[in-house]
Amino acid sequence: MSDSKEDRLAKKGLSERRRKARIKSDPELYAVHKEKDRQRYYKRKNEGKIKSVSELDPRQQGIFREGSRIYSNKHNLKRRRKEMRCLEEDLVIVPEVTDKTDDPLVTSQSQTVLQTEASSYVALLPSSSSVVSFPLPQRIKAYRGSSAPLSPPSDVSKISKLCTRSSVRVIEKEFPPTPKANKKLNTKVIICRLKYRMNKIYQLQKEKIDELKTVNERQRKQIYRLKYQSAKLREYEYISKNNTEDIKQSESDTIKTIVCVLGRKSSLPRKRIKN
């Protein structure tokens, strides 16, 4: 049965990665490979196949900058997620003490779990006569105050290993805190979330303000247009009224002149015709 296209591509990628790893492991081959890449780059640049951003036209420069912006945003987002993950892993969450004892480590659940874990290591430890007890460092405090030792007595007292930071982290990872303690987040995470919410609220309010500004501008233009039209209409009415008055006056003057001319003609003496 022939391999599919995905299988062939996977095999090809695996062989290519092996080849690159083999080249990087050998300094001489790696130097030759870098020199070939450099010569190939200069050859393509001299042929004009590779151009700098300044040599591109404005449209291509915008496309290139947009692609680089998207890539940098993705890279920064991945980096921030990695930092947040590291912060969450390094975050030390102290569960709330519900027991009446002064020791926060002495609880019903943690005591049973520690007893079971300690019993598995008891066989690997030397006998009680050969155990050497080391003093606790001053910077590590096992108790908040002067509290009583563990009760009831168990095999945990036989463990004489120093309490270090790595062992505390192992215990924290093996015994997760209560669900209520999981809600305690890092201060930086809370600040980032608050900033995100405030930015969202600001963007929504800004969009509403922009919409109101657009409506206000549209209404202002309509009012200005109506005022201009009304002013033009009043001007036209005034001009038309004056024109009609002038026309009427001119007509009346014409009629008067005609009447005067006809009256003069009628008042003149008529000549008699001789037979």
pLDDT at 112: 61
How many CB atoms within 10 Å of residue 114?
A: 20
Specify the length of the chain in residues. 275
The residue type at 225: R
pLDDT mean for each 10 residues of the chain (275 residues): 80 92 91 92 88 86 89 90 81 49 50 58 49 46 44 46 48 48 63 86 90 88 83 77 74 75 64 52
Indicate yes or no: pTM above 0.75. Answer: no
Q: Scan for tokens 């393509």, then name that residue.
A: 44
Q: List C-alpha distances in Å: 31 to 14, 41, 131, 210, 254.
A: 22, 15, 58, 59, 113
Q: What is the largest CA-CA distance in the chain?
A: 187
Q: What is the pLDDT of residue 140?
A: 44
Report CA dihedral (214, 216, 219, 225) to the nearest 10 degrees.
-90
Cα–Cα distance for residue pair 114/222, rounded to 1 Å: 80
> 129 with 85: CB under 8 angstroms?
no
Specify the pLDDT at position 142: 44
* H-only helix segments in 175-186: 179-182
- What secondary structure letter does DSSP report for 189? H
pLDDT at 30: 92
DSSP state of 132: -
What SS3 state is found at 154?
Answer: coil
pLDDT value, residue 139: 46
pLDDT value of residue 241:
74
pLDDT of residue 120: 56
Scanning the structure block, which residue is given the tokens 């192992």? 170
How far is Cα 46 from Cα 54, in angstroms, rounded to an integer? 16
- Per-domain boundaries in the chain: 9-39, 188-242
